[in-house]
Structure 1
Amino acid sequence: MDWMRDWVQAVRECEGGALGTVLCLALLFVWYCYRVGCEHASYTPESRSSPPELSSAKLRPTLGGVRTGGGASEEELNGFAYCQSPECFRCSRPGNGFNQRLYHNLQDYAKRYTWAGMGRVHKGVREQDRYRLCNRPSIQKAEVFFLPDLPSAPFFSRDAQKHDVELLERSFPALLAEFESVYRTPPPLAPGWKANSTPRGHWWTFYLVNQGTTLALNARRCPRTWRVLGQLRTFISNNVFGNACFSVISPGATITEHYGPTNVRLRCHLARLFTLDAASRGERRLRPTAGPERLH
C-alpha cells in the first residue's frame, strides 16, 4: 500500500506542475496576441494604398511654418526630405517590385547554397511593407530595406570596424590631397560634382561609387582614394546600398533630417571642418580645424 500512496502523491505533484506550466503558456499566449495586435493596429488594408506616414509627414506642408534652429521653417524643410532624381533608389521608392525581385534572389541564393542562418533576412524581405508603414517612432526606419533585430545606436564605436577606420585614418593625407585636387574649382562649375537640394546653403558631393555603380571618370581622378576603397574589408561595392564620396557643406547650410535606405550598413564619416583663412586676403584657401570620425 505504501507504493500506492507514493504513486498517488507523485501524480498529484505532476498535476500541480502541469497546471502551472499550462497557466504560464496561457499567459505567454495572451501577451503575444497583445503585442501582435499593437504592431498591426496601424497596418490596415486602407493604409496599403496610401504613402507611409513618415513620407507624408515630410512632404506635406505644415501650417504656421515653425522655425528651426537652422533658420529654415518646418514647411521649407519638409520639401527637401527627398530628392527629385528618378535615378535615386531611396527617393524613387521602388516598392513591391523591388521586394519581389529581392525575394526571388533570396530563393535563388538558398537553392544554390542553404537557408541556414537566413531566417532573419527572409523575415525582413517578407514583411517590408509592414515595417515601412509602421508609424511608431524609431531610430531605425529604413526607406528601402529594413532588417529586423539589429542593434540601434546614434553612433557606433570605432572598434565596430577597427581595421577599416584605422586604414582611413592612416590614408587621410592622401585622401585630403586628392580632395583638394578636385575641389580647386568651385563645385557648381567643376566636373564630377553634384549639387544636392537643401533649404539653406549648399551641399555638394563628388561620388566615386554611387548606389553600387563606379563613376569611372571620378575614380581615375582619385587613384589613391580608389586604392584605399579597394583595401577596405567591409566596403559595399556590389549593390545599390554602396556609396563613397567627398562631401562639402557650405557654412549655414541645412540638411533636412531623413532616414537612409537601409539599416544593414554603417556609414563612416572621416570629417574635417574647414574655415576660410583670414590671412589669404580674399583668396580661396581652406584651413582644417578639426577632424572627428563618426560611424552611424
Structure 2
Amino acid sequence: MIWLLAGGVLLAWYLIVRYFLRGKSSSYTLSQLCPSPDCIRCSASLKSVYSTDVSHKLKKMYGKYESLAVHKIEQRLTFDVSALQDVRRPTICYLRNMCDDPWHNQKQKYLQNLLLDSYSVIKSEVVNVVSEKQLWSSSETSFNGSWQKLFLYNQGKKIRKSCQKMPRTTALIEGLDTFMSGVIFGNAFVSILDGQSKIEAHCGPTNLRVRCHMGLQIPEGDCSITVNGVREHWANQECIMFDDSFMHSASNRTDSQRIVLIVDLWHPNLTITEMNIFTELFAVKH
C-alpha cells in the first residue's frame, strides 16, 4: 500500500513538472512579449470573445454561403491547440487539415513579384519615414537590443497617419487580392531590427495566414530568421514567406539595421469562399 501511495505521489509530481515545462516552452514568451490587452495574439480575454462570436456567427452563415463550406469550417476550426506540438502553437485558433509546410517561398509567386516590381518605390517611402519617430512603436518581444515597427495596418485596422506618409506602398498592399484587410489577423508594417538584437521564439495567432517579409535594407553578415528550426537569411529585393503559427525567431548579429516590409496574406490553401467566411468571422471590431 505504501509503495502504491509513493508511486502515485511520484506520478503526480512528474505530471505537474511536465505540465509546467510544457507551458513554459509554449507560453513563456507570450507572457513577456506583449503586455497589451488589445493584442490579438496574446490576449486571453480577446481569444474568449472571438471564440464565442465565431460559433454564433457560423450558425447564421448556412443561408448565406454554401452549406458544405460552412460545415467544413465548423468541423475543422478549433480554439483548442493543446494537442499540437510545441513547435506549432497558434495562440488564437487553428484550422485542421491544412498545409503543414512552415515555408512558402515558392508559393504565391505573383504576389511576391508585385511587391518586388515596386521595390524602389517602397524603399524610398520607408527611407523618408525612418526619422519620424512618432510613427514608430517599440516592441516588447525583443529582449536583446531594439525592434521597431511602423504599422500601415495593425490587426486589420488602417493606421491613416502612417498610410498618408507611405501612400504608394499602402495602395500596393491594398491591391493585393489576398491581403487580410479588415481582419484581426491582418498586418502590414515596416520592421526595423537594430544591430546586435534578437527576437525571441514565438508563434503567431493562427495558421489561416502566411507572412511575407520583403528585404529592404539587409546588412551583410549574420542576419537571419529561423522557422520551425530551419534558418534562412533575408536578402535585399527578395521575399521570405512562412506560416508564422510555427515557432519562429530572428536575430541581427551585425552592427547595422535590418529593415523589412511585412505583409500578412491569406493562406494559399484557402478557397475564395473560405476566405470570405473567415473575413466575416474575424472582422475587426470597431
User: Normalising by the residue count of structure 2, what TM-score does the alignment of the two structures yield?
Assistant: 0.66
8 A contact 1:90–1:144 mirrored in 2? yes
Amino acid at match of 1:164: L
What does residue range 39-54 of structure 1 map to in structure 2 within 5 Å?
A: none
- Change in CA separation of 1:259 and 1:240 when aligned onto 2, cut-off 3 Å: same
Q: What is the CA RMSD across the aligned residues, in angstroms?
A: 2.8
Structure 2 unaligned residues grouped into runs of 5+: 1-15, 221-233, 243-286
* Aligned 1:150-165 pairs, distance under 5 A: 150-158=98-106, 160-165=107-112
Identify if the C-alpha distance between structure 1 residues 78 and 101 changes in structure 2 by more than 3 Å, giving closer, same or farther: closer
Which structure's residues are more often helix, by fraction? 1
Residues 139 and 233 of structure 1, relative CA distance in 2, 3 Å threshold: farther
What is the count of residue pairs matched by the alignment?
211
In 1: Cα distance, 2:135 partner to 2:76 partner: 36
Structure 1 residues 111, 247: closer, same or farther in 2, change over 3 A? same
Shift of 1:86: 1.1
Aligned amino acid, residue 151 of structure 1: C
Alpha-carbon shift at residue 230 of structure 1 (Å): 1.9
1:119 to 1:53, Cα distance in 2 relative to 1, 3 A: farther
> Is residue 2:152 matched to residue 1:208?
yes
In 2, distance between residues paired with 1:52 and 1:149? 29
Q: Which structure shows the higher strand fraction?
A: 2
TM-score (norm 1): 0.64
Partner SS state of residue 113, structure 2: helix
SS in structure 2 at match of 1:232:
coil
Q: Structure 1 residues 95, 226: closer, same or farther in 2, change over 3 A?
A: closer
**Which residue matches 1:235?**
179
Amino acid at match of 1:157: N
Q: Secondary structure at the match of 1:220?
A: helix
Which residues of 2 match residues 13-32 of structure 1 at below 5 A? none
Deviation at 1:271, TM superposition (A): 1.5
Q: Is contact 2:174–2:181 with CA below 8 Å preserved after alignment?
A: no
Match of 2:25 among 26, 46, 57: 57
Verify the 8 A CA contact 1:212 1:236 in the aligned structure 2: yes
Identical positions, percent: 23
**Which of 220, 238, 246 is 1:292 aligned to?**
238
Question: Is residue 141 of structure 1 aligned with residue 89 of structure 2?
Answer: yes
Q: Is the 8 A contact 2:215 2:235 kept in 1?
A: no
Does 1 or 2 have the higher relative contact order (CA < 8 Å, sep 6+)? 2
